A and B are shown apart, each in its own frame.
Chain A
Amino acid sequence: MIPIETHGLTKYYGSLCAVDHIDLEVGNEIFGLLGPNGSGKTTTVLMLTTLLRPTEGSALVCGHDVGREAQEVRRLISYVPQDMAVDIKLTGRENVALFAKLYGISRRDETIDRVLGMMDLSERADDLVRTYSGGMRRRLELAQALVHEPKVLFLDEPTIGLDVAARKKIWEHIGTLKSRGMTIFVTTHYMDEADHSCDRVAILDHGRVAAVDSPSHLKGLLGKDLISARISGEYCRDLPEGVTMMGGKENGEVVFSSEHASERVPELFRRLEEQGAVVHSLSVREPTLDDVFLALVGSREDGSAFDDHKFRTMLRRRG
Chain B
Amino acid sequence: MKDIFYYFERDMLRWVRGRVSVISALVMPAAWLIFVGLALPTTFTENYIDFITPGILVLTMLGASLQGGSLLIFDKILGFLNKFLALPSSRESILFGKILFITARGLLQATVILLLALVLGASFLSPWSLVLTYAILALFGVLLSAFSTTIALYLSDHDAYAAFNAMVSMPLFFTSSALMPYSVMPAWLSALAYWNPVSYAIDAIRALQEGVLAWSRIGALLFLATVVVGISVRQFRKVTL
Contact = CB atoms under 8 A, between A and B. Distances in A.
A51 B85 CA distance: 7
Contacts of A318: none
Interface string A83-110: 1110101100010001101111000000
Given A46-B241, A83-B78, A101-B2, A51 B10 contact: no
A104 B2 CA distance: 9
A50 B79 contact: no
A51 B14 contact: no
Most buried by A among B10, B13, B83: B83
Interface residues of A, number: 29
A31 interface: no
Contact of B13 (A90, A101, A103): A90
A148 B144 CA distance: 35
Nearest to A95: B10
B89 interface: yes
A102 B3 contact: yes
A79 B86 contact: yes
B2 to A, nearest CB: 7
A52 B2 CA distance: 26
A99 B17 CA distance: 20
B14 A90 contact: yes
B45 interface: no
A87 B14 CA distance: 8
B88 interface: yes
Interface in A125-157: 144
B18 interface: yes
B17 A79 contact: no
A98 B10 contact: yes
The secondary structure that dominates the B interface is helix
A89 B18 contact: yes
Contacts of A50: 86
B39 interface: no
Contacts of A98: 6, 9-10
Nearest to A101: B6
Given A51-B240, A89-B18, A84 B83 contact: no
Interface stretch (A69-77, A213-221, A293-301): A69-77
A52 B14 contact: no
Interface in B109-151: none
A77 B86 contact: yes
A19 B9 CA distance: 38
B240 A53 contact: yes
A83 B81 CA distance: 11
B82 A89 contact: no
Contacts of B82: 46, 51, 79, 81, 85
Contacts of A71: 88
B14 A81 contact: no
Interface string B5-24: 01001100110011000000
B32 to A, nearest CB: 27
Given A51-B241, A52-B241, A90-B13, A85 B78 contact: yes
B86 A83 contact: no
Given A83-B79, A89-B14, A90-B13, A49 B88 contact: no
A103 B86 contact: no
A89 B87 contact: no
Instruction: Give the interface centre of B2, B18, B88 by most chain A CB atoms within 10 Å.
Output: B88
Contact of A85 (B6, B80, B241): B80
Given A50-B86, A74-B87, 20 more contacts: A51-B85, A78-B86, A79-B82, A79-B86, A82-B79, A83-B79, A85-B78, A85-B80, A87-B13, A87-B14, A87-B80, A89-B13, A89-B18, A94-B13, A98-B6, A98-B10, A101-B3, A102-B3, A102-B89, A104-B89
Interface of B: 2-3, 6, 9-10, 13-14, 17-18, 78-80, 82-89, 240-241
29 contacts: A46-B241, A49-B86, A50-B86, A51-B85, A51-B240, A71-B88, A74-B87, A75-B88, A79-B86, A81-B79, A83-B78, A83-B79, A84-B79, A85-B82, A85-B83, A89-B17, A89-B18, A90-B13, A90-B14, A90-B17, A98-B6, A98-B9, A101-B2, A101-B3, A101-B6, A102-B6, A102-B87, A103-B89, A104-B89
